[in-house]
Amino acid sequence: MSVRTVCLGWHWQPYKYTREATDVNGARVLPFPDWMVRLGRRALRESGYTDAEAAAYTPDTALANYYDENARMGMHQDKDERSLAPIVSLSIGDECTFRFGNTENRNKPYTDLRLRSGDLFVFGSASRLAYHGVTRVHPLTAPNGCGLGTGRINITMRMTGLQG
C-alpha cells in the first residue's frame, strides 16, 4: 500500500478502528458528515438496493486515500469491520485501474475496471468481501474543476458495526 490516508468517524489502522489517531498524532477523529450518509444511501438505491435497505445504511467511517501517480494498493479484503453492510467507494481526480476480484483469493478470476472522477462503486452482498486493489493510476486524466491538480482521492464509506 503506497497511499496516504485520512479517516472520518473512526480511525483505521491495520486490523482495528479507534476514535483517536493513536498511530499518527493522537488526535480525535473528525465526525462522519451527514452528507456522506445521504450520498451512501443514494448510491445504494441507484445500484439496485431496496428503499428499506438504503434507508438502513448508516455509514459511520470513511477512509480517504490519496494516490499519487506511482501509488498502488495490492489486492485485499475489507474485513476489519464487524458489519458486512455494503461499501460505497467514490473516485475523485485521476483515473485508475481498479481490480475487482473474487472472495476466495487474490488470484483470477478478477475484472479490471477503469474508474473515473465522480464514479461511485458499491460492493455488498455476495461481493462484500471480494478482493480488490488499484493496479495503476493514470496521470493527467482528472477533469478540470475536480479540485485536484494531480493524483487521485478515493473515499470509501463503511458501517463498522462498532459502538462508542
Q: Which domains does the chain have, with CATH numbers?
A: 4-158 (2.60.120.590)
Q: Residue 100: is its pLDDT beyond 90? A: yes
Neighbours of 36 (CB within 10 A): 19
Q: Residue 133: is its pLDDT beyond 90? A: yes
Q: Residue 1: is its pLDDT beyond 70? A: no
**Closest listed residue to residue 88, CA positions, set 127, 114, 51:** 127
Q: What's the pLDDT score for residue 164?
A: 75
pTM as predicted: 0.92
Q: What's the pLDDT score for residue 14?
A: 85
- Could you read off the pLDDT of 143-153 as tens digits, one per residue? 999 999 999 99
